Amino acid sequence: PISATNGVRVGNGAAGTLTVSTGGALNMTGGLLSVGLNASGNGTLNINGGSIANGEALRLGFNGATGTLSITNGGTLVTSSSTVTSNTIGDGSGASPATGIMTISGAGSSWTIGQGALVLGSGADSLGRLTITDGGKLSYQNANGAVIVGYLGGTGEVLVSGANSLF
């Protein structure tokens, strides 16, 4: 496994791709997992059978950027978060519209949120889309996190389909 202590950024003001494949692991002990951030950022994260354990929260598509995340083939993502740091998908509330697109697909593929809110589509003209299909799962370890779909002029979308898919 690879360890990171001060966050991971994929596509920070530029294009970037990170893939964690079967048997691979990224263990984060602090900081945000940021995919697609700041103007001209275009980040892609593929968790294809691998795992990421994150010390803080997910920021997918932030402040003028586009972020894409897919969890497939039994891949797992765990964000511990805090009550003050939200997990965001498509957050342009900082200044510029942003787009975040996330897919969790297939049996065993999952995202577990420790605590804190999940916000999809925040800020004018921003888009946050979450698709869970074919047995994919999103779950909370603690039931204190709000889910906000569309906020401050943004558009949020959640699609759940297929047997055993869970949101």
pLDDT value at position 148?
Answer: 92
Tens of pLDDT, residue by residue over 32-87, are 999 999 989 999 999 999 999 976 899 999 999 999 999 999 999 999 866 667 89
**Residue 42: Cβ-neighbour burial (10 angstroms; 0-12, 13-18, 19+):** buried
Q: Does the pLDDT at position 131 exceed 80? A: yes
Q: Which two tokens stand for residue 30?
A: 């602090």
Backbone angles phi, psi at 163, to 5 degrees: -60, 135
CA atoms within a 13 Å half-sphere pointing along the CA-CB vector of 63: 12
Residue for token pair 């586009």: 66
Cβ contact 127:133 at 8 Å:
no
pLDDT value at position 65?
Answer: 96
Predicted TM-score (pTM) of the model is 0.95
Tens of pLDDT, residue by residue over 78-128, are 998 666 678 999 999 777 999 999 999 999 999 999 888 899 999 999 999
Distance CA 120, CA 98 (A): 11
Measured from the Cβ of residue 5, the count of other Cβ atoms closer than 10 Å reads 10
Q: Does the pLDDT at position 143 exceed 70? A: no
Q: Which two tokens stand for residue 130?
A: 């979450």
CA atoms within a 13 Å half-sphere pointing along the CA-CB vector of 1: 11
What band does 130 get if pLDDT is binned at 50, 70 and 90?
very high
Angle formed at CA 132 by CA 163 and CA 61, multiple of 5 degrees: 175
Residue 6 zone, left/alpha/beta (φ > 0; ψ -120 to 50; rest): alpha
- CA-based diameter of the chain, in Å? 40
